[in-house]
Amino acid sequence: MALPPENNAVFMREVDEELRREQLASFWTRYGRWIIVAVVLAIAALGGWFYWQHRQTVKAGEEGVAYAKALEDLGANRAAAAKAPLAELAKSDRAGYSAMARFVEGDVLLQADDLKGAAAKFAAIAADTKLDQPYRDLALVRQTAAEYDTLPPAKVVERLGSLATKDSPWFGSAGEMVGVAYIRMNKRAEAGKLFGEIAGTESVPQTIRQRAVQLAGVLGVDAVTQDQEKKKAE
């Protein structure tokens, strides 16, 4: 006996729902435990990530305190007390603290007149590809300053030429060393032009600009007049 259309639709829907229940039960039986394992692992991984983030924040705070304390000890002439904390910070996986600690270590060596040791410290920073370029560029400038009296002038120009430009944040320091190297190489025209540019660059520290004006004048470049004309044009 055939079912009325409405009853037939109800019957088919019930069969379809029953089939879906059986498929779901079969799927859960086969894969259920793996789903539970995956969920547990995901929750554990998320919890581990939050914990790692928390530890990183705490560690960064601890390193900040240690760095400040080391500077305080150095300021109070307690270099021995600062030595171990700085050495530990220098090994930090936070590049900023590591670089700053290593720079301070280099400065301590400079104050002790250990130019060779300081230069080696700065050279290691300059060669560290894990650090951002500004740290490495500054380290190269500091290394060159520590070694300046022992370097051939051409080597100074080779090292710092790319930093002795107006768009470089190290233009003053790098440019001054390159300019003096030019003088030692008897390239007076190049030196005069460079010192004139340094004298007219407002981003350069005033003390370096004043020296540049004097050196430019000795080399026949009127940096004062050039600077005044530049300001009038602006």
Chain segment 117-153, per-residue pLDDT in tens = 999 999 999 999 988 999 999 999 999 999 999 999 9
Q: What is the pLDDT of residue 69?
A: 79
Per-residue pLDDT tens digits for 28-43: 566 556 555 555 556 6
Confidence at residue 188, expressed as pLDDT on a 0 to 100 scale: 94
For 107-116, how does the pLDDT look when each residue is reduced to its tens digit (9 = 90+)?
A: 899 988 999 9
Q: Give the phi and the psi of residue 50 in degrees, each rounded to 5.
A: -60, -40
The tens digit of pLDDT for each residue in 51-77 reads 555 555 656 566 667 777 777 777 777
Residue-level pLDDT at 12: 53
**pLDDT band, residue 81 (cuts 50/70/90):** confident
44 pLDDT band, cuts 50/70/90, is low
Nearest residue to 212 via CA among 185, 154, 172: 172
What is the per-residue pLDDT for 2? Answer: 45
pTM, full prediction: 0.70
Residue pLDDT, tens place only, 191-224: 999 999 999 999 999 999 999 999 999 888 886 6
pLDDT of residue 98: 86
Is 10's pLDDT higher than 60? no
Instruction: Please give, one letter per residue, the 3-state secondary structure of 142-192.
Output: HHHHHHHHHCCHHHHHHHHCCCCCCCCCCHHHHHHHHHHHHHHCCCHHHHH
In single-letter form, the type of residue at position 162 comes to S
Q: Is the pLDDT of residue 186 over 90?
A: yes
